Amino acid sequence: MATMKLWSDEIEALRGDARAAVAKGSDFFPIQSNDDADLSRDERIAKDRAAHDASTFAIEDAEEVDIAGVRCRVFRADGDARAIYLHFHGGGMVSGSPEMMDYPNQQLAKQLGVSVVSANYRKAPEHPFPAGPDDGLAVARWLLADGAREFGSDRLLIGGESAGGYMTLVTGLRIRNELGEIDRVLGLNLIFGVFDWGRTPSQRGMRAHDGMDILDPHGIEFVSECYLPGMTDDQRRAPEISPAFADLHGLPPCLVSVGACDHLLDDSLLVATRAAAAGVEVDLFVAPDMPHAFFAFDCAITRMWFEYQQDWLEARLA
């Protein structure tokens, strides 16, 4: 009988480097805090949106395209795309924009020969559930119908970070359930996503590791109320809202990635194990001592993750 290990001996040897990188980089990242509790809802949202100002991240090479009524940032492959990478950005379903990941998305397009389409789905509280997921499905539906004409491929990879990881899994499930075309989705790249809006133990602060994180329970509760106003935790666990509680059978291969200090750790572990039990091919990457948005903290573990993700995506394309 094998002992369960969430990371390899090679990664274990790199933990000191990871801790140093987090300590060095933590001053540069906005941390959700109960200190914002004295602000009004609109003031808190404005502060969060300012921290994710699109102009900070935008690069000139991106193309602006309207797809199914949704503004999208596009990086085209040279020639016909091997596939279309449908990307969803993070921001807790209340903030963020496609520009946040312009540089990584540009690199994906160049390195993998895919066209990347990053969708600016609607945000709460102005547009609570199901507006954002409806936008995600609308873009996916258009790409499945017209992607071959516009980009040279009708195959999708779908991926995203944080709230974008949630959007990725929700969109994959709706493609399976509502469009019946999950066979044209090559894989789901689920990067430190929120998958239980009823709040897992780690979301509530009962974490396996008490290291620094850029999330905290108060901030998570705040964005949850913006996105799903007036609902109880049990109501928020409806399968169409919280994909951790959905039937996961028949999904394409999934890469699930998360830091061990992340308040969303339990979400990733829950989805990874439930999907694997349902017969889905799952690869799990847990980065020890690393917080939410771990890939922003440069160290040997995050560089290893970028290579791992690249190899996983390449394998799906092959």
Q: Is residue 158 part of a domain?
A: yes
- Average pLDDT of the residues in 89-103: 96
Determine the 3-state secondary structure of 224 from DSSP: helix
Contact in structure between 207 and 199 (CB atoms under 8 Å): no
Q: Is residue 252 part of a domain?
A: yes
The CA distances from residue 137 to 5, 24, 156, 213, in Å, are 36, 39, 13, 31
Q: Is residue 57 part of a domain?
A: yes
Q: Is residue 169 part of a domain?
A: yes
**Prediction pTM value:** 0.96
Q: Is residue 4 part of a domain?
A: no
Number of domain units in the chain: 1
If we measure between CA atoms, which residue out of 275, 128, 259 comes closest to residue 202?
259
pLDDT tens by residue, 210-244: 999 999 999 999 999 999 999 999 999 999 999 99
- Average pLDDT of the residues in 263-292: 98
Domain limits for position 106: 9-317
Per-residue pLDDT at 267: 98
Per-residue pLDDT at 168: 99
- Average pLDDT of the residues in 186-205: 98
Per-residue pLDDT at 43: 87
Q: Which residue has the higher pLDDT, 214 or 1?
A: 214
List CB contacts of 221: < 8 A, sequence separation 6 or more.
199
- Average pLDDT of the residues in 161-178: 98
State the Rg of the chain over Cα: 18
Q: Is residue 1 part of a domain?
A: no
- Average pLDDT of the residues in 1-15: 93
Determine what percent of the chain is predicted with pLDDT higher than 70: 97
Backbone phi and psi for residue 150, each to the nearest 5 degrees, phi listed first: -85, -35
Sign of CA pseudo-dihedral 287, 187, 134, 122: positive
Per-residue pLDDT at 80: 86
Q: Is residue 3 part of a domain?
A: no
Cα dihedral: 200, 205, 211, 214 (round 10): 80
Q: Is residue 304 part of a domain?
A: yes
pLDDT tens by residue, 40-54: 888 888 888 887 777
CATH code for the domain in which residue 227 is found? 3.40.50.1820
- Please report which confidence band the pLDDT of residue 33 belongs to, taking 50, 70 and 90 as the band edges: low
**What span, in angstroms and rounded, lies between the C-alpha atoms of 177 and 194?**
21
List CB contacts of 79: < 8 A, sequence separation 6 or more.
113, 152
For the chain, give the mean pLDDT: 95
- Please report which confidence band the pLDDT of residue 35 belongs to, taking 50, 70 and 90 as the band edges: low
- Please report which confidence band the pLDDT of residue 23 belongs to, taking 50, 70 and 90 as the band edges: very high
